[in-house]
A = this chain, B = another copy of it.
């Protein structure tokens, strides 16, 4: 095996080490200390004998897998449960109902599952206990629009929001203000204590942003919604029903989302079980094990994917020329979630686009590899998690008459890397903690 091939293989091993460490089964078993009926979790102890019934609800890409572990740990103590997961992310649960639905655009199945969750949670009593299993993707998978807004309207605005380059906090501010279940409203419906196990898929692990903060107070307002829609020039493009609802919110004729001052939040214990940084730590450990001088740059990388790629390119050049920020063999580890302003309707995603842009930046650099992939196994509108490139990628592409810049212009990174056989296809990953980005200089 030549050096470049082994470098690429090492990059994949370092990526998979991060991925594996964030398997919710491993994370939940590490977190739960269950002796007799005493559950120690985080800094709290719950005596499960105290509760009449225990219910499980959940929503998000990894929630089915979280539910399967909880079933094994709590066994017959669970009275009922339902989780909404993404199509293709179903988990082998025995008595918890796993309802598969559409993502990132909500669909009929998601709404149906959400109605079941709402029915369940409205029925629980004060002396019951609810485990809420939250992971990224929950914004699409837990959805029930306010009266007057149709599923079709929700689908339209979701598409607009996801493609305008807005930050997740901005997207979620809108989502929360047109929903009956997001932004902490679920807690208000429920009389029992709630333990939320949260797998973070957002920068800085802001709880109110994960799955649109289903069990967290919301700091955003209708006023913010208007500002955000104006900022991205969407106010006059969104469905009339949504515009009207936001205007009603501005007039004060419909209620604001739950705020941190609302007392019902005392019933919730939100606990983060995994995040991007924990994945990067596992990747770091693997990189060290493989003999690299490794450095974690940041677990909260954000910004336009193709521009962020240029910074990775600049670091690659510096390692080659000056041995900074770390000496060869170097492994720069980063994570987070970049954005893509969609220009044309090619196939691709933020990870593949980042790698495509980076490929042009590291063109000609020997023993240099860049990898970016989503830990949820899905990048953009494709079946790939991401892609991998090296200093010879552009040359190989040109041999196949593929011009990288054209593919970048067309947001068509998937076709580019498919053509080079450099897609990373993981299938269902069982987890979702944003993306892992690696730069290796051997």
Q: Which residues of A contact B (CB under 8 A)?
A: 203-204, 231, 277, 295-304, 307-311, 313-315, 317-318, 321-322, 324-325, 334, 336, 405
The interface residues of chain A, by DSSP majority, are classed as: helix
- Report Cα–Cα, A204/B320, bound state, in Å: 11
Are A277 and B405 in contact, CB atoms less than 8 angstroms apart?
no
Are B297 and A318 in contact, CB atoms less than 8 angstroms apart?
yes
**Cross-interface CB contact of A314 among B300, B304, B309, cutoff 8 Å:** B300
- Report Cα–Cα, A321/B204, bound state, in Å: 9
In the complex, how many angstroms separate the beta carbon of A311 from the nearest chain B beta carbon? 5
Nearest residue (CB) in B for A319 is B298
- Report Cα–Cα, A293/B296, bound state, in Å: 15
- Report Cα–Cα, A205/B229, bound state, in Å: 43
Nearest residue (CB) in B for A227 is B405
Q: List, in ascending order, chain B residues with CB within 8 A of A296's CB.
A: 318, 322, 324-325
In the complex, how many angstroms separate the beta carbon of A314 from the nearest chain B beta carbon? 4
Q: List, in ascending order, chain B residues with CB within 8 A of A324's CB.
A: 295-298
> What are 8 A-B residue pairs whose CB atoms fall within 8 Å in the complex?
A204-B321, A296-B325, A299-B322, A303-B309, A303-B314, A308-B311, A314-B334, A314-B336
Q: List, in ascending order, chain B residues with CB within 8 A of A304's CB.
A: 304, 307
Nearest residue (CB) in B for A361 is B302
Are A301 and B307 in contact, CB atoms less than 8 angstroms apart?
no
Are A318 and B300 in contact, CB atoms less than 8 angstroms apart?
yes
In the complex, how many angstroms separate the beta carbon of A167 from the nearest chain B beta carbon? 10
- Report Cα–Cα, A321/B206, bound state, in Å: 13
Nearest residue (CB) in B for A308 is B311
In the complex, how many angstroms separate the beta carbon of A73 from the nearest chain B beta carbon? 30
Q: A296-B318, A297-B325 known; 20 other A-B pairs, CB under 8 Å? A: A204-B317, A231-B405, A277-B322, A295-B324, A296-B322, A296-B325, A297-B314, A298-B311, A298-B317, A298-B325, A299-B318, A299-B322, A300-B318, A303-B307, A303-B308, A303-B309, A303-B314, A307-B308, A314-B336, A325-B325
Q: List, in ascending order, chain B residues with CB within 8 A of A299's CB.
A: 318, 322
Q: List, in ascending order, chain B residues with CB within 8 A of A318's CB.
A: 296-300
Q: List, in ascending order, chain B residues with CB within 8 A of A405's CB.
A: 231
Q: List, in ascending order, chain B residues with CB within 8 A of A311's CB.
A: 298, 301, 303, 308, 311
- Report Cα–Cα, A309/B298, bound state, in Å: 13
Are A314 and B301 in contact, CB atoms less than 8 angstroms apart?
yes
Q: List, in ascending order, chain B residues with CB within 8 A of A334's CB.
A: 314
Are A295 and B325 in contact, CB atoms less than 8 angstroms apart?
yes
In the complex, how many angstroms separate the beta carbon of A175 from the nearest chain B beta carbon? 21
Q: Are A302 and B297 CB-contacts (below 8 A) given A204-B317, A231-B405, A325-B325?
A: no
Interface-central residue, A297, A334, A336, by most chain B CB under 10 Å: A297
In the complex, how many angstroms separate the beta carbon of A21 from the nearest chain B beta carbon? 16
- Report Cα–Cα, A307/B299, bound state, in Å: 16
Which are the 3 A-B pairs with shortest beta-carbon distances?
A307-B307, A303-B310, A298-B314
Q: List, in ascending order, chain B residues with CB within 8 A of A204's CB.
A: 317, 321
In the complex, how many angstroms separate the beta carbon of A146 from the nearest chain B beta carbon? 28
- Report Cα–Cα, A162/B236, bound state, in Å: 33
Interface-central residue, A300, A321, A405, by most chain B CB under 10 Å: A300
Nearest residue (CB) in B for A403 is B227
**Cross-interface CB contact of A310 among B302, B314, B322, cutoff 8 Å:** B302
Are B310 and A310 in contact, CB atoms less than 8 angstroms apart?
no
In the complex, how many angstroms separate the beta carbon of A230 from the nearest chain B beta carbon? 11
- Report Cα–Cα, A405/B166, bound state, in Å: 13
In the complex, how many angstroms separate the beta carbon of A263 from the nearest chain B beta carbon? 27
